[in-house]
Amino acid sequence: SASCGDGRKRRVCYYYDPGVANVDYGANHNMVPRRVAMAHALVEKYGLLADMERLRVRPATEAELRAFHDDAYVRLLRDITPDAYHDGDLRDRARACGVGVPETDETDASAYDNPVIDGLWDYCLRYAGGSLAAARALADGSSDIAINWSGGMHHACRGKASGFCYVNDIVLAIQELLEHFERVLYVDIDVHHGDGVEEHFKRESRVMTVSFHLYDIDRDVKPFFPGTGKVEDVGEGDGKYYTLNVPMKAGMDDERYQQLFRPIMDEVMEKFVPDAVVLQCGADSLYGDRLGEFRLSVKGHAGCVSYLRSFNVPLLLLGGGGYTVNHVASCWCYETAVAVGKEKEISDEIPFHGYEHYYRDQGYKLHFTVPKKNGNKKDDLIDKIKQDALMNLAMLKP
Ligand code: V1S
Ligand code: CA
Ligand code: ZN
């Protein structure tokens, strides 16, 4: 039984399968699924499992994946293994689907975004199965909040892997929610644009997608991945204005992020009135991330979770990016505590849990510190982004 600031209890269910934490993208790869095992070990040691129901679920089925992904791609994911990749035909099929090593370089499979990894199929079925089960727990009314930190793979397309994502568990979960709820809101606080989810629902008025991300076309080298998500992209046809993009500059801190997040989400909640909310909690928007360039603290990031939780609408919490693994684990553990309403009760001292050595640089504390940056506090850009976003929202029928 979880109580919280607003005094209301939430029934929380939680999916964790060690099978999704033990896959290896390769030695040089930024994506380290072990971060989910680290988050889980903290959740367990802080005693949070007692406040949640643990989801034990079967992996997704091929048929379930085909609710979004095309047949040939599903077959490819099923058939491809590091060994089978030597087969010329399979290799060509894999490359056509964004999986494996591009033509130019045969030597270092680990240096590419979506490598052919051991246990790939099993990994995909399990993290997708977790998100589907979590969606069902909300749909059947048995939970108020459902959590799958191994999900949130927002870049995967119908027939193509992209940005470390093979199967788009978010699209699958939203489709499941649409069977039971009239309107579903998707919110994405990963530092990258949630392009795969947006693309699929951009013509749909029953799903509103909102992504906050780093977007910088004025870069000298190349745009920040994936290069999409400008504020002018608002959806199409019936779905026009049911897509909202909030592009931000590098260096966003807690204060400025919340200056955008809260008023924008207030307006979205008032205009769209969702029956369920899916929050992709990509932790690469935290300070010190190996890929991201924002400066959020764990509390700043978790502020988004507690804010959306306070609307008392069924809430699905998913993972996503996050490449400084100790920060990621701190963040998702703390957000689990927010979900059950115990964030005030968990100690800042990292308990012994087998991964404590990762926390040496942050003094074995759960919360790392974000150094203050001296600079212009008054930031006109924030007002401009906020105005642009609110103008798009004003076009939504109330
Ligand atoms: N930024 C970035 C980045 N870094 C890598 C990378 C680094 C080392 C490796 F061994 C393998 C890959 N890839 C990228 C980006 C993809 C970022 C994906 C973010 C995913 C998410 O957090 O939103 C959700 C889980 N890829 C690119 O920039 C593409 C390339 C254009 C450049 C890098 N090469 C390796 C592929 C093509
Ligand atoms: Ca995002
Ligand atoms: Zn990301």
Q: pLDDT 10s digit of each residue in the chain, 398 long?
A: 344 456 678 999 999 999 999 999 998 999 999 999 999 999 999 999 999 999 988 999 999 999 999 999 999 999 999 998 888 899 999 999 999 975 554 455 446 899 999 999 999 999 999 999 999 999 999 999 999 999 999 999 999 999 999 999 999 999 999 999 999 999 999 999 999 999 999 999 999 999 999 998 777 678 999 999 999 999 999 999 999 999 999 999 999 999 999 999 999 999 999 999 999 999 999 999 999 999 999 999 999 999 999 999 999 999 999 999 999 999 999 999 999 999 999 999 999 999 999 999 999 999 999 999 876 666 778 999 999 999 999 999 77
Residues with Cβ–ion distance below 5 A, ligand 2:
188, 190, 194, 211, 213
Ligand 1 pocket test target in 225, 286, 290, 293 with most atoms within 8 Å of CB? 225
What is the number of alpha carbons within 13 Å of residue 352 lying toward its C-beta? 0
With a 6 A CB cut-off, is 111 part of the ligand 1 pocket?
yes
> What integer pLDDT is reported at residue 374 of this predicted model?
75
Query: Which atom of ligand 1 is least distant from the CA of 192?
Result: 23
197 Cα: distance to centroid of ligand 1 (angstroms)? 18
Q: Which residues are catalytic?
A: 155
With a 6 A CB cut-off, is 284 part of the ligand 1 pocket?
yes
Q: Which domains does the chain have, with CATH numbers?
A: 12-59+119-394 (3.40.800.20)
With a 6 A CB cut-off, is 29 part of the ligand 1 pocket?
yes
Query: Which atom of ligand 1 is least distant from the CA of 31?
Result: 25
Q: H-type helices in the chain, by residue range?
A: 34-45, 62-65, 71-79, 88-96, 120-139, 169-178, 195-201, 254-272, 298-309, 325-340, 380-394
> What integer pLDDT is reported at residue 24 of this predicted model?
96
CA dihedral 20→24→30→33, nearest 10 degrees, is 20
With a 6 A CB cut-off, is 335 part of the ligand 1 pocket?
no
State which amino acid sits at residue 292.
G
Select from 377, 397, 177 the least CA-distant residue to 270: 397
> What integer pLDDT is reported at residue 174 of this predicted model?
99
Measure CA 317 to chain center: 8
